[in-house]
Structure 1
Amino acid sequence: MKIKLLPKFILSLGVIGVILTIAISLFSYRSSRSYLENLYAQRVMTNSNSIADMMSVSDVKKILAEGGDKTEEYSEMVTLFNKLKKDSDVTYLSLVVPDEDSVHFYIDALVEEMGDDPANQIAYGSDILYTDAANPDDPADMEKYITIWNQYQQNKGVDHPLVTDNSYGYNYTGVSVILDENGKALAEIQYILDMKEVRNYLNSFLINMLLISFCIIAVTMAAYIVFVRKTITRPISRLADFTQEITESGKFENQRITMKTGDEIEALSDSFNFMMEELENYIANLSKVTAEKERIGTELDIARNIQASMLPCIFPAFPDRKEFDIYATMTPAKEVGGDFYDFFMVDETHLAIVMADVSGKGVPAALFMVIGKTLIKDHTTPGRDLGEVFSTVNNLLCEANSEGLFITAFEGVLDLVTGEFCFVNAGHEMPFICKAGGSFAAYKIRPGFVLAGFEDMNYKAGSMTLDVGDLIFQYTDGVTEATNVENQLYGMERLEQVLNRVKDRTPSEILPEVKKDIDAFVGEAPQFDDITMLCVEYKAKMEKA
């Protein structure tokens, strides 16, 4: 499902807005919390220390002594504590003496005007266990009471308020010791400030910051979305609709769009108009080129048909001749190729075969092939030495070779009476010979120079004797140099193997099997060279006339 640009933009902007709202609110909350906690901590410790410093050691000793609550000093101290509690708006203000598992209360300030309940006042001499005071679900709360006792043993109070959250509420507790004349802890002041209202204030502050930040960011986002919609998404949507309309209609002529945004979108529309103009020109030129290619393709098809008709292509080629069986194929790499084969009767008792490969491909090679094929056939006459034939053809080709092409060629003439096979090789591949009852093997021939390379080259003919049942397989380098997708060559070894697998078959059966094996080896790789093959079997000797 496709989602338009504006919803995507709104969604991403909304996510950013939520993140900013939370980040700003949390930052403000943490800053305010840190400031208020430090402020109240300083207040608790300053007041606690000040009250401890105010205490008269002798008065404290009298209060702590047995019957101290009956003394005048006790009454005066209680009045002072109540006044300090009221003036400082402190939650709990007490004079206590701790020990290892409890705390003894001697004065617990009470101000009914502040909402204190006399029933909850801790009486003189009361002993409160730490286990009763601490939060049973929070082991760390118990550790704070132990910390007060450990500090008291060292004649010290605490440097920072202890934060407790138990049955007495969420409090900051300042503890300051009262030292006697010898610097030993005599008692301590517990100054406890209820922080519940501060915490409630901070929670309320966080909620308000979230709401305020959300409202500000939401309004800003709404204004920005309107701006983006007008200046970005609407012009882009217009351009998208325009292109979609062109795509659906398929009409590219005289299609233009005008945008005056004064930014990159206007530049994009100008570029689109330029592209449309270029596309019109391209389509017009493409139509001309296509028509021209179709014309050339038609002419090449005609040329391919002409070339195919110039090569022997009707088989069996000599149905009335029982002395031999011959078959040949050519698969051009392009519409027309540079390879060619030929076979013809020189006279009633001699069969000539030709296999050649023109350098280059396409039309030039095909035209040069026609010239070469014609010259070789015209100069192959009864009794003429094949070396002389190639020497003559070479000079004639050099005279009409302005393109610098050349031909590798092999020609052989089989005497159907004696089995003598005369041949000449101008830089071509070695033929494969299969003796009757034997196997195919490459017949090593020292090749001469290519035709149309240099004038006045001398070519020497060779000969061998074929027996009845022998086969000759000749080919061009398009066979052995066929390449697969891994750039491996088909090679002479594979060719010999496939020939020997089908050596007992007829020439018309051998060549398709070789081509099938080449195709399997090449796979999906393109064909870069013509593949031309010819096979002839000497089946019977011709009787002399």
Structure 2
Amino acid sequence: MRLVAFRKRLMYQNYERINEYLHSIQADMNIEYLYIQMIQDHSSVYLFDPSSGYLTLGYKEELSERFDKLKGNERLEPTVSRTEFGWLSSAGEPVLSSDGEKCAVAFVDIDMTEIVRNTIRFTVLMVCLCILIILAAGMDISRKIKKRISRPIELLTEATHKFGNGEEGYDENNIVDLDIHTRDEIEELYHATQSMQKSIINYMDNLTRVTAEKERIGAELNVATQIQASMLPCIFPAFPDRDEMDIYATMTPAKEVGGDFYDFFMVDDRHMAIVMADVSGKGVPAALFMVIGKTLIKDHTQPGRDLGEVFTEVNNILCESNENGMFITAFEGVLDLVTGEFRYVNAGHEMPFVYRRETNTYEAYKIRAGFVLAGIEDIVYKEQKLQLNIGDKIFQYTDGVTEATDKDRQLYGMDRLDHVLNQQCLSSNPEETLKLVKADIDAFVGDNDQFDDITMLCLEYTKKMENQRLLNNC
């Protein structure tokens, strides 16, 4: 009896130890139900069930459908179901004897609610972890971008801005010099910026030299303009002690030094000469050629000399020294203050307007025009004549008057000049006449630039020279 009791106690102790072991497994693995059943005929006998909290040794129940799925020694794949015990995921594993025969089945039931909760917890944890990884990666990428892209661009922008504002001057020592070695488009931009700055510095140096040269030339041109203007008679009244004539002349130069010139002078006490001319071209060469032409015409105009011979000789002299191929259109006339005879010669110049007091009209006087001066050697010029009466006038001009251009590229023209002379200048003296014509030209041109000199001269025969003056001069 004692032996039997000892065996029972030993078996109980072993059972309890196994049950505790299974309970620890259940707790460690968070298993809802863990039990082992032995199959006997059509029933199943519970051997272990630590999840119930008490021993169920020998408890029998009808075989369930789960046992039908256990064929031979195969395991029961996990299945999910809702029963009175809860929402469970169940699996079974055959327990084999030492002979390899199935003697029992171990079942495990896991609460799906806990699985789902753990899954959600794991998912949330993974999402948070991913977000942290993304943020860390983003910060690292941002730091690298700033170091590799943003910062070099900021430095390049700042340096370029300083260079563009000229804060440190335009010098090769102030070219942007940065430590940019990104080996990409930013480094290419940096080198392109350096190249551009070198080009700008070279341009600024050239511009400085050109500007200085331009200022020097401009100063010289201003001096040339002043010299040119000072060579033209500009004090009026021109002959305050003579009342036989009234004369007035103006020249409005264009922006460049031009070649227009006028002149008037007493050939002798009885004869007065007027000259109106226009040199081809602009600038200093034209001004110098103008000085030569003006001087030659005046020097060769002598009392009693034929004006055709004057222009013939002047033309030959000009042709000898005309290496630049320039030419002069010129008109010269000499008025006899006693008889009113007006001798003139024309070398390709504009036709004058003649005012007749008798008819109170201006009319373009059609004259035979010779060839320009300094064009061809040995040209023979012919002197011509017309008769002026007391109160008659001669209005002469250069092509800067008729070729004045408005904003629509329309020319002032002969018709408009004829109109202003006959509508506004009939009762005007020479000075008033020129002012009225110039005002009409200005109104026509408007804000358009003046491209040529505007030169005009008006001579009025006011009184015959008295014989007593002649006798006094003799």
Q: TM-score, normalised by structure 1?
A: 0.58
Task: Give the structure with the larger helix fraction.
Answer: 1
Runs of 5+ in structure 1 lacking a partner? 1-210
Q: How far 1:244 moved relative to its partner?
A: 2.2
Q: 2:413 aligns with which of 491, 495, 503?
A: 491
Partner of 1:472: 394
Please list, as runs of the form range in 1=range in 2, the aligned pairs for 1:182-193 lying within 5 A after superposition: none
Shift of 1:472: 1.0
- How is 1:354-365 mapped onto 2 (pairs within 5 angstroms)? 354-365=275-286
Which has the greater radius of gyration? 2
CA distance in 1, matches of 2:241, 2:462: 13
Q: Is the 8 A contact 1:376 1:393 kept in 2?
A: yes
Contact 1:473–1:534 under 8 Å retained in 2:
yes
Give, as a single letter, the amino acid of the residue that structure 2 aligns with 1:483.
T
- In 2, Cα distance between the equivalents of 1:296 and 1:248? 28
Q: 1:263 to 1:391 in 2, by over 3 A?
A: same
Partner residue in 2 for 1:252: 170
Identity, in percent, stands at 63
1:509 aligns to 2:432 (yes or no): yes
Equivalent position of 1:238 in the other structure = 155
- Alpha-carbon offset, residue 237 of structure 1: 2.0
Who is 2:323 aligned against?
A: 402
Do residues 459 (structure 1) and 381 (structure 2) align?
yes
Other-structure match for 1:387: 308
C-alpha spacing 1:251/1:392, structure 2 compared with 1 (3 Å): same
Q: Does 1:438 align with 2:360?
A: yes
How many equivalent residue pairs?
335
Equivalence for 1:366: 287
Q: Which of 194, 213, 218 is equivalent to 1:297?
A: 218
Structure 2 counterpart SS, 1:537: strand
Whole-angstrom distance in 1 between the partners of 2:168 and 2:343: 67
SS of the residue 1:237 aligns to? helix
Instruction: Letter of the 2:151 partner, please give it.
Output: R
SS at match of 1:347: coil
For residue 271 of structure 1, report the CA deviation from its aligned partner.
1.8
Measured in 1, the distance between the counterparts of 2:349 and 2:138 equals 81
Q: CA deviation at 1:225?
A: 5.8
> Any conservation in 2 of the 1:411–1:424 contact (CA below 8 Å)?
yes
Structure 2 unaligned regions, length at least 5: 1-126
Give the C-alpha shift of residue 506 in structure 1.
Answer: 1.6
2:25 aligned partner: none
What is the deviation of 1:281? 2.8
CA displacement, residues 97-121 of structure 1 (integer Å, 9 cap, x when unaligned): xxxxxxxxxxxxxxxxxxxxxxxxx
SS at 1:249's partner residue? coil
Contact 2:170–2:204 (Cα < 8 Å) also in 1: no
Write the distance in 2 (CA, Å) between the matches of 1:416 and 1:270: 82
Does structure 1 conserve the Cα–Cα contact (< 8 Å) formed by 2:350 and 2:397?
A: yes
User: Counterpart in 1 of 2:60?
Assistant: none
CA distance in 1, matches of 2:377, 2:145: 81
Partner of 2:209: 288
Deviations 1:109-138 (A, max 9, x none): xxxxxxxxxxxxxxxxxxxxxxxxxxxxxx
Is the alpha carbon distance of 1:248 and 1:411 closer, same or farther for their aligned partners in structure 2, counting shifts above 3 Å?
closer
Helix, strand or coil: the match of 1:326? strand
Encode CA deviations 1:236-291: one digit per residue, 9 max, x unaligned.
22222112223162522212222212122212211221222233333333333333
Matching residue of 1:322: 243
Whether 1:261 aligns to 2:182 is yes
* Residue aligned with 1:271, SS: helix
Once the two structures are superposed, residues 68-95 of structure 1 have per-residue CA deviations (whole angstroms, 9 ceiling, x without a partner) of: xxxxxxxxxxxxxxxxxxxxxxxxxxxx
Residue 524 (str. 1) matches residue 435 (str. 2): no
Q: Is the 8 A contact 1:257 1:269 kept in 2?
A: no
SS at 1:446's partner residue? Answer: coil
Please tell me whether residue 378 in structure 1 is matched to residue 299 in structure 2: yes
Q: Please give the secondary structure, in 1, of the residue aligned with 2:267.
A: strand
